[in-house]
A and B are shown apart, each in its own frame.
Chain A
């Protein structure tokens, strides 16, 4: 029996109830919408980017605890970082939550606070909830005006 507590850790519940950096960012240099058409989750990510650095990031989300917590943690992690680092963080996170094989403790450590989200690996239907805000963030960086979806 997989413990639901591994999915709904206190840190996740806290971020979902009190999301950090929530709300519109105006003005902003980059923004994009993300949708999960299967469950109706919606997220909008705003960023102010200058000299290759994400100076500010905010988001608005209508979604489940996992997607809101992931968005909230994302903003904390990548605010003030280089674009390249933000992309790399997502790539590492995405690879680990979608990997079929084992993951080592060292790898988990590299995820920083995102480590609390790796419980979604045991809930395949929920992986997209965790990755939607990140897909939306990279779409904004890529200058994608259209909505991105998880499908």
Chain B
């Protein structure tokens, strides 16, 4: 286990991830698709086994020993989630299936209770579809309107335009913290100040931010913050919706069922307190505990150190790719997380992806569930290399070499 003191021990860190030892097509796996989903350290994998082997039962229900152990482990994970983003209360962190469900929860529960015709929701053009479609659905139901803040040619959010879009009818500003397609880090503190000045709430999509930087929801004064566990080296199928206590308390339930009730009769049902009001049904118990293990893992290494390591990789990758004549970088904001989107002249990203794959290099190709961004840059798709805490400069070299193979095959 790589510990937090001394140098960034990349070999020890890589050793924590069993899958990095795998070979694909008889070549070492070069995993550069962390923006889609990150690989899992042994600590997370083991935590899942441990739950099922030693402390599993349903939670918050049984009076028996195992139920109590599982409940304690799951609530322990919630406390880790609280500390991870420096929230005030653990019950402000709702376990959801992922960021998508978190946004749907807010759009549906808060939106239907608070939006009316003529109200406005402000998004940015570089949102993931999961931070667009839930708002479109609730806008259609309530008569609210959606307004979209533009970005410039580097992929930087136009803050003046954002401010001009936010007015007296703006109820919600829902924007990404870090763009999944471009890597842009949005100055969310400024966006939050602007929104609050106009009485609007702010939801941040933190999926691509939490693996790369420390988050402090109280310093940000953000109203809702969502992220997925699987991009943070945790299990898939679990994520966190953080909401300020006062907001969550005032919101109606999202789904009905077990665990979220206080009393049920056919005449009237009263709902449980936070966080259970929003956790109907048996949750992903092992997943929540595994997410806690993932939080422990990145915290132990230190997000500052992870961020510094990834910045080095990003800079190196940007330099090497940028030096290739055939490469057009898409997303060149001065403030970026470790994501490089690009296209090769005359070769479709899908073809690039297939050839890189045969070289053992895993990248994402496509529209990255962010079609408005693709339209903004007038491309159908891009190739995206997204780096994680275990990636190395040698892997960037492997990517560049594999791009040479693309040129060989497509060369004239």
Q: A residues near B, CB below 8 A?
A: 1-2, 4-5, 7-8, 13, 17, 38-42, 62-66, 123, 125-126, 129
Q: Which of B346, B358, B374 contacts A4 (CB 8 A)?
A: B358
**When the two chains form their complex, are residues A39 and B381 in contact, meaning their CB atoms are under 8 A apart?**
yes
Interface residues of B (CB under 8 A from A): 25-26, 346-351, 354-355, 358, 365-367, 371, 374, 380-381, 405, 409-410
Contact B348 A63 (CB under 8 A): yes
Nearest neighbor of A129 in chain B, beta-carbon distance: B350
CB contacts (< 8 Å) of B348 on chain A: these are 63-65
| A38 partner residues in chain B, CB cutoff 8 A | 366
Contact B409 A41 (CB under 8 A): no
Given contacts A2-B358, A41-B380, contact A64 B351 (CB under 8 A): yes
Complex: A125 Cα to B346 Cα, angstroms = 21
Which residues of A sit under 8 angstroms from B347, Cβ to Cβ?
A: 65
CB distance from A59 to the nearest CB of B (A): 16
A to B CB contacts below 8 Å, 14 in the list: A1-B358, A4-B358, A7-B354, A8-B355, A13-B409, A17-B346, A39-B367, A40-B380, A40-B381, A41-B380, A42-B380, A64-B351, A65-B347, A126-B354
With the chains together, A4 CA to B410 CA distance in Å?
A: 11
B351 touches A39 (CB 8 A): no
A13's nearest neighbour on chain B, judged by CB, is: B410
> Nearest CB to that of B411 among chain A residues?
A13
* B360 CB to nearest chain A CB (Å): 11
Minimal Cβ-Cβ distance residue in A for B367? A40
Contacts A64-B350, A65-B351 aside, 8 further interface pairs with beta carbons under 8 A come to A2-B358, A4-B409, A8-B410, A38-B366, A40-B381, A63-B380, A65-B347, A66-B350
Once the chains are docked, how many angstroms separate the CA of A7 from the CA of B367?
A: 23
**Complex formed: what's the CA distance from A40 to B380 in Å?**
6
Cα A40 to Cα B374 in complex, Å, equals 10
- Residues in B with CB closer than 8 Å to A62 are 380
Q: What residue in chain A is nearest B358 (Cβ atoms)? A: A4
What CA separation (Å) do A13 and B409 show in the bound complex? 9
Q: Contacts of B349 on A, CB cut-off 8 Å? A: 39, 64
Does A1 lie within 8 Å of B25, measured CB to CB? yes
* Interfacial chain A residues near B371, Cβ < 8 Å: 40
- Whether B365 and A39, one on each chain, are in contact in the complex, defined by CB atoms closer than 8 angstroms, is yes
Q: Is the CB of B26 within 8 A of A5?
A: no
